[in-house]
Amino acid sequence: MGKVFLSFFVSLILLILFHICFFIINLYFWIVDGYEVIFHGGTLIENLYYSIYLKWMLLLDTLWIVSISVYAFRRKSYKTNPELHYLETKSKINPNVCVIIPTFNEEKIIKTILDGFFSQELVKNIIVVDNNSSDNTVNIAKESGATVIEKKVNKGYTDSCMLGFNESLKTDSNIVSLIDSDGTFSPNDLKKMIPYLENCDMVVGTRQVQTLTEKGNQNSMFYVWGNMLLAKLLQLKYFSLLHLGIVQLTDVGCSYRCIRRDALEKIIDELTNPTDLSILKPKNWLFSLYMTMLAIENDLKIVEIPLTFRKRDIGESKSEVTKKSKGFVYGMKFLWFILKR
């Protein structure tokens, strides 16, 4: 399926480039012919009509539209069934939440995050997966009451998330939440997400609502627009004709999310044993995107809601996504992952 989608995407880019070339070439001839019209008669409409470039452009446009229309109505490769994504009242949940927090050298902020979750009655378990921190993160987490998984080698963010989700299923929690340890997300937003789980399987956050983001946060204009474009491309990949997407997304990189235990059990094998090993690279931030795509492909119902998002005042960001040059590179990785899967 990924190869077909990739082919259509590449063909669209080539078609756009062809249009640009057509415009530039014909603009030159129209300017030249404009003088001919003035001095020798004839019309620009005639020149346009007989243009070989126009004929080829119309032919290619028609072929592309027909091809993608046939593909849209006859595609069979996705497991996803749009008919399953209507309103459904699921079994009532008495929230018993397990929170997963991957960490690496976060001694200055980890206690604040843990206290924010432990102060909520619905949070029964917190699993801190530490990436071989060289500071006091592990001791602070243990003293605060969290279950700590200490990794002797830093294998990266994705590996920590996978370990955390596997460990969460050993608890009696019926809801599992994932959050970053940098203090940019609020533990209190957990209360926003839980009610939606009565009608869906997973709730993901979005950092794209300006009124809920603190001035000076890592979301530069470049990041916001790039993220939005990738989210809409993902919608197009899993589109349904009725609602223009099985899931409505604006943020493909937001890690803060909650998932029902029964839904997690459906995808845990694929989630923690991906066939695409590129996901496992240490400096790879594809996990959130991968989990969202996996959930869609397995007919899990997903709702995206706006969350508060603050600038990072304490510690240093472990991700280089905030730098424009690196952000572009990661954006291309996200794009390639969406296209090829």
75-108 residue pLDDT tens = 544 556 666 667 776 767 789 999 999 999 999 9
Q: What percentage of the chain has pLDDT greater than the value 70?
A: 77
Amino acid sitting at position 299: D
Any alpha helices (H) in 41-108, and if so which ranges? 44-49, 52-74
pLDDT digits (tens, 9 = 90+) for 167-193: 999 999 999 999 999 889 999 999 999
- CA–CA separation, 171 and 284 (whole Å): 28
Residue 146: helix, strand or coil by DSSP? Answer: coil
Which of 16-25, 140-149, 247-256 holds the top average pLDDT? Answer: 140-149
Give 97-340's CATH code, choosing from 1.20.1250.20, 3.60.150.10, 3.30.360.10, 3.90.550.10. Answer: 3.90.550.10
Cβ of 163: how many Cβ atoms within 10 Å? 18
Q: Which residues contact 229 (CB under 8 A, 6 or more apart)?
A: none
Token couple for 127: 């699993």
Letter for the amino acid at 291?
A: M
Higher pLDDT, residue 77 or 266: 266
Question: CB under 8 Å to 168, separation ≥6 — which residues?
Answer: 98, 100, 125, 127, 176, 264
Query: Does the pLDDT at position 318 exceed 60?
Result: no
The larger pLDDT score, comparing residue 242 to residue 305, is at 305
CA-wise closest residue to 47 among 66, 28, 63: 28
Q: How is the chain split into domains, by residue range? A: 2-77, 97-340
| Residue 321, CA distances (Å) to 39, 80, 305, 325, 328 in order | 59, 31, 22, 8, 8
Phi then psi for residue 213, to 5 deg, are -110, 140
pTM summary value:
0.79
Query: What are the pLDDT digits (tens) for 216-256?
Result: 777 777 778 888 888 988 887 787 656 666 788 999 989 99
